[in-house]
């Protein structure tokens, strides 16, 4: 065993750690030294979004000690920014194993540092935490969740006073304070319990009232109230609010997928509790087929991501990807506001740089400003704050199944998105057509964009180095063409620089630095490479487009675009 790793293990075995932790360490030492090495070869990094990792003992794991030290650092930063003032934080958690325990540890450490804590009485969706921060006038907040990761993971997302996740300068400043906590002895574990206030139903009511106010066409829902809706919370927090909100909207024919209705951190019916995965939606799809439903919706464990399925023109059920879902939501809200007469000249929408550019085209044709930000919903939240009082935010979204309708909270919100997507389905049904037909109509009118995503996992000590080497290789050896189409632009967000490889022309990218590369091809294709900020993965996003003259040509043109993406992947040797 590496000498530095052994020193860390010895420190835990002989230090102020509980006996259960020491017992688990001794077992690993005797039975699984490789896992022990992975658990201690580094300290779990408090990144710009907080912590996320596998639960267990060790410095590279999510446990009471890594949670406590992170919270102490965050509390120190809050006290330094607001000296002598009352500081308030809201704390929530999802359905994962240990999430309640971690939330209570977080609350106790915050309270012991003199901070007033609003702790939800039980599991709640992440978007309600964002709402609570703004509603209660908090300076910060924490939700204990690992979002859509597998069951062995947990995490810790930190928020600022606007209800959004930490952005500069606060993200790096909090990281510095967390890094200063060298020992668990520096953590104030208890002593401020009087500063903790339990919250719940009142916040639920306030959130539901806000979310109901996002509806554009309640009169359409009244006519289509019996729209056949199937919903699955995939064992997560969505069950606490989604059914109530659909009822508030006026929908009367909602079926909950019973097999996945109970919150359960073991996620017994799925491998990945992620609506992006067809396997996670399979039970819901079966139920939707049985009932001949109009729409199926699923949310991830902390209810900030939503996936949907709809029927095509042949009556076959299809899972709609995140880009298509965002396109449908953006187009509905822009068009509905226009037809209702409530659109404003300064309306704006926001998307990320890896989300379909078809939204940009749609917004431009409809005279609505569309802004592009870095990947991560915190950047959408930051832009909303920047434009507040100047422009009217309508909707934001990202390809990874995240949507936020309206400006009343500042993180992606699958709860309100479910209601709006159901309203959208009711609106199209009221017009005598399906959501699928609406999607094809958009392709005919604005161009047919198709996207795909590949994630390459690189685990362990060597994995991060391999990912870094891949990115550097693309920077050092920029391809001149991909799949037979010339690379006309290289966008390097780490260097904040765009370049035409052929002419040498360069320009500044006016976004915060981020380790992302984009290749723009002469045929309009776009390839993005980005290491994940939360998982040991590098992600490649592909976007291709062409015209679709007639709806009946959809299948043929879809296959042409599919082949183009396959050609790009093969040329880049990614599979």
Catalytic (active site) residue 543: no
Are 392 and 315 contacting, i.e. CB atoms less than 8 angstroms apart?
no
- The DSSP line for 416-470 is HHHHHHHHHHHHHHHTT--HHHHHHHHHHHH-EEEEEEEEEE--HHHHHHHHHHH
Long-range pairs for 165-169: beta carbons < 8 A, 24 or more residues apart = 165/48, 165/49, 165/50, 165/376, 165/377, 165/378, 165/381, 165/411, 166/48, 166/49, 166/50, 166/378, 167/48, 167/378, 167/379, 167/381, 167/382, 168/512
Catalytic, out of 99, 147, 400, 525: 147
Three-state SS at 140: strand
Looking at 136-200, list the stretches that DSSP marks H as alpha helix, in order from N- to C-terminal side: 170-180
Q: In the numeric block, which tokens belong to residue 134?
A: 């703004």
Burial of 193 (0-12, 13-18, 19+ CB in 10 A): exposed
Is 126 in contact with 94 (CB distance < 8 Å)? Answer: yes
Q: Which residues contact 300 (CB under 8 A, 6 or more apart)?
A: 147, 148, 234, 236, 273, 274, 275, 401, 414
Helix or strand holding residue 278 (H, E): helix 278-291
Tokens 């920047």 belong to 386
Distance CA 425, CA 112 (A): 49
List all residues 6 or more positions away from 205 whose beta carbon is below 8 Å from its beta carbon: none
Interior angle at CA 9, CA 8 and CA 15, nearest 5: 85
For residues 158 and 49, give the distance between their C-alpha atoms in angstroms, rounded to a whole number. 6
Instruction: Report the alpha-carbon distance of residue 306 to residue 284 in Å, rounded.
Output: 13
Residues with Cβ within 8 Å of 294's Cβ and at least 6 positions away in sequence, in order, are 227, 228, 229, 310, 311, 425, 429
Tokens of 382: 């930051």
Catalytic (active-site) positions: 147
């Amino acid at each position: 065993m590496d000498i530095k790793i052994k020193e860390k293990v010895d420190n835990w075995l002989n230090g102020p750690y509980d006996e259960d932790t020491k017992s688990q360490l001794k077992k690993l030492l005797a039975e699984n030294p490789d896992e022990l090495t992975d658990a201690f070869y580094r300290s779990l990094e408090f990144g710009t979004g907080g912590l996320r990792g596998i639960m267990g003992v060790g410095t590279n794991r999510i446990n009471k000690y890594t949670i406590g030290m992170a919270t102490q650092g965050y509390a120190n930063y809050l006290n330094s920014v607001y000296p002598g003032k009352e500081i308030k934080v809201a704390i929530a958690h999802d359905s994962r194993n240990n999430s309640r325990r971690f939330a209570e540890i977080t609350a106790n450490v915050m309270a012991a540092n003199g901070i007033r804590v609003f702790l939800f009485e039980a599991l709640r969706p992440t978007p309600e935490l964002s709402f609570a921060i703004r509603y209660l006038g908090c300076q910060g907040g924490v939700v204990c969740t690992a979002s859509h990761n597998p069951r062995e993971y947990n995490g810790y997302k930190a928020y600022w006073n606007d209800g959004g996740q930490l952005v500069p300068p606060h993200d790096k400043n909090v990281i510095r304070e967390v890094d200063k906590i060298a020992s668990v002895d520096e953590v104030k574990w208890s002593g401020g319990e009087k500063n903790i206030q339990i919250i719940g139903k009142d916040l639920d009511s306030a959130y539901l009232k806000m979310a109901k106010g996002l509806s554009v066409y309640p009169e359409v829902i009244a006519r289509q109230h019996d729209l056949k809706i199937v919903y699955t919370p995939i064992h997560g927090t969505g069950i606490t609010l989604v059914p109530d909100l659909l009822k508030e909207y006026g929908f009367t024919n909602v079926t909950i997928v019973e097999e996945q209705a109970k919150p359960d951190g073991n996620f017994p019916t799925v491998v990945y509790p992620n609506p992006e995965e067809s396997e996670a939606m399979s039970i819901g799809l079966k139920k939707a087929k049985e009932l001949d439903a109009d729409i199926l919706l699923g949310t991830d464990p902390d209810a900030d991501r939503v996936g949907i399925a709809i029927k095509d023109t042949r009556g076959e059920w299809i899972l709609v990807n995140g880009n298509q879902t965002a396109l449908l939501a953006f187009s509905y809200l822009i068009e509905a506001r226009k037809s209702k007469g409530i659109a404003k000249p300064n309306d704006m929408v926001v998307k990320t740089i890896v989300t379909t550019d078809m939204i940009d085209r749609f917004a431009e044709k409809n005279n609505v400003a569309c802004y592009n930000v870095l990947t991560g919903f915190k950047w959408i939240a930051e832009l909303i704050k920047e434009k507040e009082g100047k422009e009217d935010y309508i909707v934001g979204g990202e390809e990874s199944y995240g949507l936020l309708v309206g400006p009343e909270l500042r993180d992606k919100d699958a709860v309100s998105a479910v209601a709006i997507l159901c309203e959208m389905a009711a609106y199209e049904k009221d017009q005598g057509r399906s959501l699928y037909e609406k999607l094809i109509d958009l392709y005919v009118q604005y161009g047919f964009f198709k996207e795909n995503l590949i994630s390459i996992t690189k685990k362990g000590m060597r994995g991060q180095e391999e990912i870094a080497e891949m990115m550097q290789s693309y920077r050092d050896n920029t391809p001149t063409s991909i799949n037979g189409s010339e690379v006309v632009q290289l966008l390097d967000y780490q260097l904040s620089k765009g370049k035409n490889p052929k002419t040498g022309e360069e320009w500044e990218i006016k976004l915060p630095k981020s380790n992302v590369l984009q290749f723009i091809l002469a045929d309009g294709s776009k390839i993005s490479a980005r290491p994940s900020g939360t998982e040991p993965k590098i992600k490649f996003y592909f976007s291709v487009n062409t015209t679709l003259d007639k709806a009946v040509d959809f299948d043929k043109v879809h296959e042409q675009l599919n082949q183009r993406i396959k050609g790009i992947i093969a040329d880049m040797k990614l599979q």
